[in-house]
Amino acid sequence: MIIKLASSYGFCFGVKRAIRIAEEHKGSKTYGPLIHNKDEINRLKEGFNIGLAEKFDDVNPDDSVVIRTHGIPKDELSKLKAQENTIIDATCPYVTTPQKIVEKMSNDGYSIVIFGDKNHPEIRGVVSYAKELKNAFIVNDEKELEGLPILSKVAVVAQTTRKPTDFVKVVSALILQHKEVRVFNTICNATFENQDAAAELAKDADVMIVIGGKHSSNTKQLHSICKSYCEDSYLIENEKEFESEWFKDKNLCGISAGASTPDWIVQNVIDKIEIIKQVK
């Protein structure tokens, strides 16, 4: 069995930047999990004494606080500033872009439509920058637009890890319904590249292994894409989670990884598959 890596996979620019920032600030706390990867967060805790504050009450006045890659709600950032914490902003620049767009366009009198998961930390942060929350709407697909009290002028942004084809469906529905639609493509380029590479590999693979956090939006998207081309596609967080039966009678094992997955975890998975190959 041949093991083949996707041509593009793993850590994106924003995650690499956040990890570097955290490593440079030993003894600090991240506000929320820095990235969606438990193993990497544990590495930062053990090797760099990086703590975790899940909410504002977990932050002491003398703490240095690293803002997670996904960003945080505007009011929570204001609380940290009011408490005079040392703030180190590791928010991905691709995430701060929709925050700024939402703030400006809502101040200019536009309704805001955000294509994304309302429960995702990135989206909770982005929507908080709207001037009036009653004029900001989060939708998971174009069907959820029906019946919303959207103004005639609307601005639309997307969660950075969403599929472009699904974003187009939302935009198309808005254009048919409203007089003025301002479209801001805020999907990350790294997401495109990883998704396209995973799809190409999955077309040829007998089995696909997608490595990443179970709560990672972009990793779940990768798994969904792979499964549409290769039925035997599996999402795992590390080398402890797969079964040798997955590789029985397979000729090509494809591997991809989410944007929050470090190379050392990918290598551990490859090493484990190599051992399974030898046993077989």
Answer yes or no: 122 catalytic.
Answer: yes
Q: Residue 102 half-sphere exposure, CB side, CA atoms within 13 Å?
A: 31
Write the pLDDT tens digit of every residue in 42-92: 999 999 999 999 999 999 999 999 999 999 999 999 999 999 999 999 999
Write the pLDDT tens digit of every residue in 131-154: 988 999 999 999 999 999 999 999
Amino acid at position 201, single letter: L
> Given this model, what pLDDT does residue 176 score?
94
Per-residue pLDDT, averaged over 258-278, amounts to 90
- Domains 2-9+189-279 and 94-183 belong to one CATH topology: yes
> Given this model, what pLDDT does residue 207 score?
96
| Candidates 3.40.50.300, 3.30.980.20, 3.40.1010.20, 3.30.420.40; CATH matching 94-183 | 3.40.1010.20
Structure tokens at 149: 């009290």
Which class would CATH give 2-9+189-279?
A: alpha beta
Q: Give residue 277's pLDDT band: very low, low, confident or very high (50, 70, 90).
A: confident
280 pLDDT more than 70: no
Q: Pick the catalytic residue: 40, 122, 142, 237? A: 122
| Candidates 3.40.50.300, 3.40.50.11270, 3.40.30.160, 3.30.559.10; CATH matching 13-91 | 3.40.50.11270
Q: What average pLDDT does the chain have?
A: 93
Say which residues have a Cβ less than 8 Å from residue 204's Cβ, sequence separation at least 6: 252, 254
